[in-house]
Structure 1
């Protein structure tokens, strides 16, 4: 069950392309809690999950995993991905070893 959605945008010369990021409710599976998510990239949607000892750790790790997926994407590297304003980041946390990738407000709050 989807519990939250954030819509990012890829700017292209022809039109803005919405990229919804959906986060699901926690599930208990194989002695761990998982949080599934989808990033609806136009060419290849990504379905994945993060896992933790409890539902809160699973949420934290999943949010970081989403952040890594966004910052390592072709759209980010091309400078065409945005959330609220270009260059302000995407509003997802990222693990310490990836903080050199952060831009804008993400860099201020997570860097």
Structure 2
């Protein structure tokens, strides 16, 4: 299992936002890679699916990036990994790269 912790700066103090990624698992016809984002208002679980383990993990990483960058927590400007405004270190699909900030925009945009 992989784990990264982002931080959400709420009015009552910092709240950890853990992100976990499970090891890809082979299914009958494809692979799946589960992930979970521990949002302050409740966890969000999702999956990446691919023809092999690498593709399943890559698609899970892009799904995490999409969930982060399209969230109200991101739009509030209070979500961070490291310095505020530096991004979260996850890739996103091409069609939402305009949402990237900080290092994410510099390296992925």
What's 2:54 paired with?
A: 56
Comparing 57-66 with 26-35, which one deviates more in the overlay? 26-35
> 1:56-110, CA deviations, whole angstroms, 9 ceiling, x for partnerless residues?
0111111000000000111001111000110000000011111000000000010
Structure 1: unaligned runs, 5 residues or longer: none
Query: What TM-score results when the alignment is normalised by the length of structure 2?
Result: 0.97
Gaps of 5+ in 2: none
Cα separation, 1, equivalents of 2:46 and 2:28: 16
Q: Distance in 1 between matches of 2:67 and 2:54?
A: 20
- Runs (4+) off by over 6 Å: none
Deviations 1:26-69 (Å, cap 9, x if unpaired)? Answer: 11124110100000011121011100000001111110000000
What residue number does 1:81 align with? 79
Question: How many residues end up aligned between the 2 structures?
Answer: 109
